[in-house]
Structure 1
Amino acid sequence: MFVWIVFAAVLFLSLAFLFHHPYFFQDVHHVLFKLKLRRLVRKYYQTNYTILDRFFDVVKAQPDKPFILFRDETFTYRDADELSNKAARVLLHTGLVKQGDTVALFLGNEPMFLWLWLGLVKLGCSAAFLNYNIRSKSLLHCFNCSGARTLIAAEELQDAVEEVLPSLSEQQVSVFILADRCTSPDFKSFKDKMNQVSSEPIPKNLRSHLTLQSPAVYIYTSGTTGFPKAALITHSKLWSLSLLPPVSGVNSKDVVYVSLPLYHTAGFLGFTGSIEMGITLALRNKFSASQFWDDCRKYNVTVIQYIGEIMRYLCNTPRKINDRRHKVRLAIGNGIRADVWKEFINRFGNIQIREFYGATEGNFSLLNYSGKIGAVGRDTYLHKKYFPYSLIKFDVDKEQPVRDSAGFCIEAAKGEPGLLVCEISMNAPFSGYVRDLQQTEKKRLHNVHKKGDLYFNTGDLLSIDEDNFIYFQDRVGDTFRWKGENVSTNEVADVITLVDCIKEANVYGVTVPGLEGRVGMAAVKLSEGQSFDSVDVFKHVENLLPAYARPRFIRIRSSLDVTGTFKHLKATLVEEGFNPNQITDPLYFLDEKDKNYVPLTADIFNSVTSGKVKI
């Protein structure tokens, strides 16, 4: 009888505990799995086992398994090995690329992107992934800060390369165009040379110097100020990124669909994560809402990758009778709004959504493994113990953490937005930006909780609710996110002020109902004696800025408010938005059809906010 009483008591207490802590087992399982993967990376660290080594093992174990599905072509793991050998041999035979070099890749989503990266690592080299949307000064900046002396570009991007060719020629940069032949002596063809070389394995001694601390790739991020910065991704960091899919629930039988740009971390980890698990990847050259589900059915896709904009675009497509006729069971990504999340699963079926939080250059990530709509993760004792982080009070106006009388940061209260900072350690290193020590140091936060400690400043505000779910709130500093891209306000302002009629510009992001992220807007002060030349401004931003970075709204001001240290004040401008019914300053709207900045009338405002006009 006593035994039954004890059993009943234990059962009652267990049920009571689980009632108050319903996510306990999920929380523990997640932390244990992350610790297991950390130990795995440590083991790889000791043996210098890279993603390339994993690729070789998969090729040996399953050479005929489909690896890349692209359009109507299927490439097996053996094909990928042989084609990347050919790409490597072209570079080797030219004598222009040697062990330890960095080569810049300027192309869109296509299998050649993958063969080139694999081939470069086989040569003991690294790659810099250039955003194919950038042009002119931004393109030159990104190329130069990578330290590369060789550029490989897609044939359709040759015009963009020709714009900066004088500067590249002055630096004696070698430029390959992915074509069978080139008419210009300034370029070298590439594809014809691949047909002429052997597919035999590349000698291992060419990469014998590689360690897990060696650069694997440079991926660009806007950070918080200035031009895009090249974040160093070591082979160790690449392992950490590549293990996100298994943490999220991907298994060895899955087929992953990637329509995100490969030059982005999210797209590239879809590729390296597929190698890690030895699975098949269906690659799309560019996201298409109308073709998305047809592709998923065509390739028997079971896992998709997303950013918030993708999910919204899919929900906005006309409803079809076969919306739920697919095999997709899992979606991995970030930036999805709660209302879009609900609409997506209601319309397309009970697909598990694994929303994560992380930064390309960061040393920490969060994952919503419980499926709580709107959250990016959970705040638990175990997670914080083994992967230390904090949400600290942040003064938005002063753009710095709030500190107590002892000089230490103050943790944000439950429900209060706080700056996410993550401890920098051997387990969570921060490699920083290439050739930008000043910006690297800005991301390091000293003496956060005790003297001598060091944390990574994410530049993001998050909050924790009463149930310990973590939610993304906003970005701080001089960056906003639009169309899945980080837009540097300083870079856009630098470009706008090159126009003769504009003397000064303050760029920021404003919210538009129904849209993720923030839409670009610029408050400008005109040059003395000049009027606003709307056509010239349009031509200028169209030529020098990618589409996502072009300000959709322009506000003409007689003066621009600044701080005591001459930094532009944005908070009030952001709050005031772009409503012509409330703003007396002249307002303009970017009209792509008219190729002009047209006066922002009440009718245009209503059309934009109601969704009738797409931006």
Structure 2
Amino acid sequence: MDLMWVTGLLAGLFALHFLQRRFFPYLWIDARYLWKVVRYGLRIELYKVTGRVVTVVDDFMRQAQRIPDKPFVIYQDQVHTYRDVDRRSNKVARVFLDHSEVKKDDTVAMLMSNEPDFLHVWFGLAKLGCRVAFLNHNVRSRSLLHCFQSCGAKMLVVGEDMLGTLEEILPNLQEDNISVWVMSKDTPLKSVNTVMDKLESVTDEPVPAKLCQVTSIKDATLYIFTSGTTGLPKAAVISQLQTLKGAAGIWAFGGKEDDIVYITLPLYHSAASLIGIGGCIYLGATCLLKKKFSASQFWTDCKKYNVTVFQYIGELCRYLCNQPVREGEKDHKVRMAVGNGVRTEVWREFIRRFGDIKMCELYGATEGNICFMNHTGKIGAVGRSNMFYKILLPFELIKYDIQKDEPIRNEQGWCDHVKKGETGLLISEVSPKNPFFGYAGNKTHTTKKLLCDVFKKGDVYFNTGDLMVQDYDDFLYFRDRIGDTFRWKGENVATTEVSDIIGMLTFIQEANVYGVPIPDHEGKIGMVSIILKPNETLDPKSVYEQVVTYLPSYAQPRFLRLQETMEVTGTFKQQKFRLVEQGFNPSSVPDPIYFLDGSEKSYVPLTMDIYDRIQSGKIKL
């Protein structure tokens, strides 16, 4: 009898296991991930109840007490321990406290490249209770001045290697009586203060703790600027809540205290600063910091410094795959990569070539109130949802009219959900538990990112501006930005899909697809800017055969622009705005332009005669 009972129990357990694997294959991996989310969420809720927020900088100071001699930052073969960075940031705080008029709750802007002093200044200002604005050092002149003014900064701290950029806006800053500080011992610029000489005369003792005490998790702590792919950058308000969420990212994917995290992305963006640096602080890990990304040096650095985790964004993995094949490419200790934007075919190629690295794809806008994490490792997906996740972070995918650039509303005026497998606009409900903090300096920008009365009167949703698909297994896939998608011949063209097809050609290193306007035509017609691989030449007939074979007629780029370098933003996103503005006029565009000619079954050089006939409508498109 006992034997029968045991046999029945084992059979039942086996059946349950089979059913779970068959119908709920992600049950346990979802449960483990959800448990991490809940644990961390309870910590944040505790801050709300007690009114005493332990910030990322507080966590750093705690780590400096716990592991003072552990390397925190490795930069150009120099090791900076947790104690070193803590004391140096104390000295920076003392300089500004003693020699400037900056005070708690003031906004101070930083114009600095990737270097340890970026952290010293950031943490030093945070210890004074200041809000810090990270300026993108690739932005110049009037655009840079716009960024500074939009966040309401009262002071600017500039890296020594940024003096040329500073000079372009210095007269305007001085007219507005802005205090400017340079990270050097002396400077030829008049009325500009220096920091390094004053560091020698101040103590490294902590400033009064009351200065950096935070009582609300919703308090603004940073301003991080959007990439500006379709216009001037906007200053996203980053709250203490967002910095704490970002700092848990690497840990949630399985990061460990003994990890060495390779950060090549710019610190002025949220990926490197909040997820990278914040993640190292939360773990008590070590950061290998580079001034800028180098594809040729990447794996050499990984081997030399025993890197175990690296961050990627956009096309970084593609750049690595485009490097010449070398011996021993899998001879490294990298086990995990955290980032977003890697395409499916690049993902597969990257793993095949460089080894079984866990690719931790995530999704989230700097200013957004929604994020996804691909905790299962499903190739191509940006994350996975379930009913429990939607309770914590409610989101929807709704029908969207790309031509009108607005959500589709039914006869009752409400938005409609898309079905699983269909592309829809991702929106996330805004509520006290899931707030949207908006942009500094312009309420219009904040208002434009909100959708009201979506499913019922009075509801409010954050508009991500991203088109996504959720499949029948609840995996989410990024499709395109609504601003990057264009409409031609009554059809919607997703630029990433077209660039993926063209990028399959062996002689093409990178393809950037966008739409350009044509006189007397609705919508925009496709154009592609390409970069060739080293020592390769353009084969126009092969490009023609590729697009005609694999793309519908409305999605085939009619114009091809051959560039030597591809302009990108600081996070490696392809810059489309200027390309769209420049159009396809061969007399004004400095690069060779080709036209898709069906009669020649090739792309042919675009002459002024062809251009004029297109403009006059003599050539039918």
The verdict on a shared fold, with TM-score over 0.5 as the criterion, is: yes
Query: 1:453 and 1:20, CA in 2 relative to 1: closer, same or farther beyond 3 A?
Result: same
Match 1:106 to one of 111, 124, 131:
111
Any unmatched runs of 5+ in structure 1? 481-507, 525-556, 562-568, 609-615
Instruction: Quote the Cα distance in structure 2 between the aligned partners of 1:345 and 1:318.
Output: 16
Instruction: Quote the Cα distance in structure 2 between the aligned partners of 1:351 and 1:86.
Output: 40
- For the aligned residue pairs, the C-alpha RMSD in angstroms reads 3.0
Determine if contact 1:108/1:285 at 8 Å carries over to the other structure.
Answer: yes
Q: Tell me by how many angstroms 1:519 deviates.
A: 2.9
Structure 1: which amino acid aligns with 2:382?
A: V
Partner of 2:321: 315
Is 2:603 aligned against 1:600? Answer: no
Match 1:79 to one of 56, 76, 84:
84
Partner of 2:30: 27
Instruction: Quote the Cα distance in structure 2 between the aligned partners of 1:189 and 1:32.
Output: 49
Is 2:411 aligned against 1:459? Answer: no
Partner of 2:619: none
Is 2:48 aligned against 1:42? Answer: no
Determine if contact 1:224/1:478 at 8 Å carries over to the other structure.
Answer: no
The 10-residue stretch of structure 1 (203-212 or 85-94) with the greater mean CA deviation from structure 2: 203-212
Structure 1: which amino acid aligns with 2:524?
A: T
Query: TM-score with structure 1 length normalisation?
Result: 0.81
Determine if contact 1:212/1:234 at 8 Å carries over to the other structure.
Answer: yes
Match 1:426 to one of 429, 432, 443:
432
Q: Tell me by how many angstroms 1:441 deviates.
A: 1.2
Q: Tell me by how many angstroms 1:222 deviates.
A: 4.3
Q: Tell me by how many angstroms 1:123 deviates.
A: 0.5
Instruction: Quote the Cα distance in structure 1 between the aligned partners of 2:351 and 2:473.
Output: 23
SS in 2 for 1:333: strand
SS in 1 for 2:315: helix
Instruction: Output aligned runs, 1:118-137, within 5 Å.
Output: 118-137=123-142
Is 2:285 aligned against 1:274? Answer: no
Determine if contact 2:526/2:558 at 8 Å carries over to the other structure.
Answer: no
Determine if contact 2:512/2:528 at 8 Å carries over to the other structure.
Answer: no
Instruction: Quote the Cα distance in structure 1 between the aligned partners of 2:453 and 2:25.
Output: 36
Query: 1:587 and 1:24, CA in 2 relative to 1: closer, same or farther beyond 3 A?
Result: closer
Query: 1:228 and 1:596, CA in 2 relative to 1: closer, same or farther beyond 3 A?
Result: same
Determine if contact 1:224/1:477 at 8 Å carries over to the other structure.
Answer: no
Instruction: Quote the Cα distance in structure 2 between the aligned partners of 1:518 and 1:216.
Output: 38
Partner of 1:444: 450
Query: 1:133 and 1:60, CA in 2 relative to 1: closer, same or farther beyond 3 A?
Result: same
Is 2:215 aligned against 1:263? Answer: no
Instruction: Output aligned runs, 1:374-523, within 5 Å.
Output: 374-477=380-483, 511=499, 513-514=502-503, 519=512, 523=516
| Post-superposition CA distance 1:553-595 (Å, at most 9, x none) | xxxx6x476xxxxxxx6x43237889998999998655679x9
| Post-superposition CA distance 1:409-462 (Å, at most 9, x none) | 211112111111111122221100112211111211222233322211111000
Instruction: Quote the Cα distance in structure 2 between the aligned partners of 1:425 and 1:607.
Output: 55
SS in 1 for 2:218: coil
Determine if contact 1:155/1:178 at 8 Å carries over to the other structure.
Answer: yes
Partner of 2:11: 8
Determine if contact 1:395/1:401 at 8 Å carries over to the other structure.
Answer: yes
Partner of 1:199: 204
| Post-superposition CA distance 1:109-143 (Å, at most 9, x none) | 00000010100010010110011100111101100
Instruction: Quote the Cα distance in structure 1 between the aligned partners of 2:132 and 2:509.
Output: 31
Instruction: Quote the Cα distance in structure 2 between the aligned partners of 1:278 and 1:455.
Output: 36
Query: 1:348 and 1:601, CA in 2 relative to 1: closer, same or farther beyond 3 A?
Result: same
Is 2:328 aligned against 1:347? Answer: no
Q: Tell me by how many angstroms 1:472 deviates.
A: 0.3
Partner of 1:182: 187
Instruction: Quote the Cα distance in structure 2 between the aligned partners of 1:338 and 1:445.
Output: 31
Instruction: Quote the Cα distance in structure 2 between the aligned partners of 1:591 and 1:298.
Output: 32
Instruction: Quote the Cα distance in structure 1 between the aligned partners of 2:512 and 2:267.
Output: 24
Query: 1:573 and 1:308, CA in 2 relative to 1: closer, same or farther beyond 3 A?
Result: same
Match 2:296 to one of 273, 290, 294:
290
Q: Tell me by how many angstroms 1:151 deviates.
A: 1.0
Query: 1:518 and 1:315, CA in 2 relative to 1: closer, same or farther beyond 3 A?
Result: closer
Query: 1:15 and 1:105, CA in 2 relative to 1: closer, same or farther beyond 3 A?
Result: same
Q: Tell me by how many angstroms 1:281 deviates.
A: 0.7
Q: Tell me by how many angstroms 1:288 deviates.
A: 0.5
SS in 2 for 1:574: strand
Is 2:530 aligned against 1:573? Answer: no
Instruction: Quote the Cα distance in structure 1 between the aligned partners of 2:169 and 2:383.
Output: 43
Determine if contact 1:222/1:479 at 8 Å carries over to the other structure.
Answer: no
Instruction: Quote the Cα distance in structure 2 between the aligned partners of 1:577 and 1:291.
Output: 27
Instruction: Output aligned runs, 1:100-249, within 5 Å.
Output: 100-208=105-213, 211-222=216-227, 226-249=231-254
Structure 2: which amino acid aligns with 1:573?
A: I
Instruction: Quote the Cα distance in structure 1 between the aligned partners of 2:333 and 2:78.
Output: 21
Structure 2: which amino acid aligns with 1:36?
A: R
| Post-superposition CA distance 1:359-383 (Å, at most 9, x none) | 0001111111111111111132221
Q: Tell me by how many angstroms 1:73 deviates.
A: 0.4
Query: TM-score with structure 2 length normalisation?
Result: 0.81
Instruction: Quote the Cα distance in structure 1 between the aligned partners of 2:219 and 2:510.
Output: 34
Instruction: Quote the Cα distance in structure 1 between the aligned partners of 2:282 and 2:427.
Output: 29
Query: 1:14 and 1:104, CA in 2 relative to 1: closer, same or farther beyond 3 A?
Result: same
Any unmatched runs of 5+ in structure 2? 487-494, 531-539, 545-552, 567-587, 597-601, 606-621
SS in 1 for 2:258: coil
SS in 2 for 1:151: strand
| Post-superposition CA distance 1:134-185 (Å, at most 9, x none) | 0111101100011112111122221221112221111111112222211121
Query: 1:405 and 1:258, CA in 2 relative to 1: closer, same or farther beyond 3 A?
Result: same
Determine if contact 1:258/1:305 at 8 Å carries over to the other structure.
Answer: yes
